Structure 1
């Protein structure tokens, strides 16, 4: 029986129109990185400071100085805020209903993200998701390492009082979401197709299911219960 569903935010439960992808790439390029779309996609879902450091190393460049990464991260936050102001994020279709349905059935729901808390909270507030909509929110600056490390999922378990990782379903739209769920030992690792990657790309990485979106997760749990 699944006790906890842990879901990524941007691209999985929140449609932010590619703003994270664009802001991350622009911030890295402004800091001197020579990168393409595939380089940025490689780091999607990861902690954003880690991602920027990785992008700045692209092409065999030396390890960037901490202050360079910090400045790039500040620029990323500025670019992202401007993008969200111009085109506000909105829930992925079916996400809000899915969260409510899961919780009504007794399944806890946590959101995890590669954003720091100061980036995540305004985003959640813009959707009206900051007050009891989910059981926990875990951000990248609250764990020792972000995805693909398992720590975001394990911290979500800690905050929701779930002990057995086999009773956890982890869902996300990026490769590192799937690898993080696998590394955590989650009983179900679900890829969703509402992000930048297609089925064939996600299927190359550890998973138990690939579904069109989070609205399909309650059905997966019903099928699991009948099996």
Structure 2
């Protein structure tokens, strides 16, 4: 039986209309290197400083020269993302707040995991009226784990394990992980989660998850019914 559902944020539970992609690309391009679309996609879902470092290297640049290049690019990423969100605020993926409420009502704890730093993640949740452990919120989750709070971000499993720690879940086989990128799915697989789900609310189609040991669903909104069907079987 599933005790914890760990969901990615942008593209999975939150529709930011591709703002993270655009902000990350612009911040790296401003360092003087090109960003290939396939490289950008490969690093989506990861901790953003790690993504910036990798994308600069992939573009032929040196992330260590000058020494503050990555930190400066990360600050630009945050500034650009704030501007994009101010112009077009993120919204919940359709049906997701209701799905989260259904899961929690059934006794399943829900955590959000993200490659954002906590200040960025909480600012997004504040815009939506979502809260951690606040039953009076528009949408309530039980924990938030961010990429800068663990030793290594996705595809490492540590955010999922930290979510287990935060919610008191002991058995990783009782965890469901869902995300819209390949690194989200790989993190779920690496964690040993009982169920790993790739969702199609981001930039990827079902073929992107081909060959990975995961279930593909249209959206997190489908997960309560998916679990009910599994229990019936």
CA distance in 2: counterparts of 1:177 and 1:52, whole angstroms:
18
Give the drift of 1:70: 0.3
Give the drift of 1:62: 3.8
Structure 2: which 5+ residue stretches go unaligned? 135-139
The residue number in structure 2 matching 1:143 is 150
Structure 1: which 5+ residue stretches go unaligned? none
SS at match of 1:78: helix
CA distance in 1: counterparts of 2:195 and 2:173, whole angstroms:
8
The residue number in structure 1 matching 2:15 is 15
CA distance in 1: counterparts of 2:63 and 2:123, whole angstroms:
31
The residue number in structure 1 matching 2:34 is 34
TM-score by length of 1: 0.97
The residue number in structure 1 matching 2:171 is 164
**Contact 1:4–1:169, Cα closer than 8 Å, also in 2:** yes
The residue number in structure 1 matching 2:25 is 25
SS at match of 1:191: strand
CA distance in 2: counterparts of 1:180 and 1:115, whole angstroms:
16
C-alpha distance 83-63 of structure 1, shift in aligned 2 (>3 A): closer
User: Which of 156, 162, 170 does residue 155 from structure 1 map onto?
Assistant: 162
The residue number in structure 1 matching 2:216 is 210
TM-score by length of 2: 0.94
**Contact 1:167–1:187, Cα closer than 8 Å, also in 2:** yes
CA distance in 2: counterparts of 1:206 and 1:103, whole angstroms:
26
Find out whether 1:191 has 2:198 as its counterpart: yes
Aligned residues: 226
CA distance in 1: counterparts of 2:213 and 2:35, whole angstroms:
27
CA distance in 2: counterparts of 1:76 and 1:59, whole angstroms:
17
Give the drift of 1:38: 1.7
SS at match of 2:160: helix
Correspondence 1:67-216 to 2 at 5 A: 67-131=68-132, 132=134, 133-207=140-214, 209-216=215-222
| CA offset digits 1:140-193 (Å, max 9, x no partner) | 111111100000000000000000000000000000000000000000000000
